[in-house]
Amino acid sequence: MKNIVFLIIVLLMSSALYSQIKVENTTYKFQIDYSKGWNAGSKVETDKKDVINYSFTKSDKMTSSIIAFRFTVQTNIDDLIYKLEKDFSLNIPEKTNGYKNLSGEVYEGKQADYKDSETIEKIYYYTTTKDSAGEFFCYMIRFIADGKYNKTNFDTEVSNIAGTFKIKL
């Protein structure tokens, strides 16, 4: 009987461990965990090895992407946001509120909500304020959901995932 209970506990624990996606990139110095139900999509890096883009999906209702940049000089957070919001290939809709400031020991950041007629979005922007062997890093973590998706559930899930994001210089 003890063996059966032990086996059930091990199976439950291992299924919980395998039900999430953990992204740890030592080159771009970050880590983030996606909760159960998310699936990893593509991972594309530029030939110059200075930008990497990850994509994730959760059913057909939510998507997420992480774009990480590597620079030899520090990037101003407002300049980063301006460039990314104006990039037509990213197709970022209008903001629905102001930016919320984020800060940590080695980074500064901002977060904002966006919306158009079809989607709701939440985007986190980060830039490192300290270098790592002469390199600085910038990140954009973007979450998109169908406009009919429950906003409270979206905000909760996104906040939980974004809360696992760590910059590891």
- State residue 4's pLDDT score: 43
Distances in Å between the alpha carbon of 17 and those of 12, 21, 41, 143, 163?
A: 9, 9, 19, 23, 18
Q: What is the pLDDT of residues 96-133, one digit of tens each?
A: 999 999 999 999 999 999 999 999 999 999 999 999 99
Residue 18 CA to residue 15 CA, distance in Å, equals: 5
Q: What is the mean pLDDT of residues 84-105?
A: 95
Q: Which residue has the higher pLDDT, 143 or 16?
A: 143
Provide the pLDDT for residue 15.
40
| pLDDT at residue 60, rounded to an integer | 76
DSSP assignment of 64-98: EEEEEEEESS---HHHHHHHHHH-TTT---EESS-
Query: So what's the pLDDT on residue 19?
Result: 56
Is the pLDDT score of 5 beyond 70?
Answer: no
Q: 14-35, pLDDT tens digit by residue? A: 344 445 999 999 999 999 999 9
Q: What is the pTM of this model?
A: 0.88
Domains in the chain (CATH in brackets) are 21-167 (3.40.1000.10)
Q: What string of DSSP letters covers 93-139? A: -EESS-PEEEE-SSEEEEEEEEE-SSEEEEEEEEEESS-BTTBEEEE
Question: Percent of the chain scored above 70 by pLDDT?
Answer: 89
pLDDT at 81 over 50: yes
What's the mean per-residue pLDDT of the chain?
90
Tell me what the mean pLDDT of segment 40-44 comes to: 96
Residue 59 pLDDT: 85
Q: Which backbone phi and psi does 158 adopt, to 5 degrees?
A: -65, -45
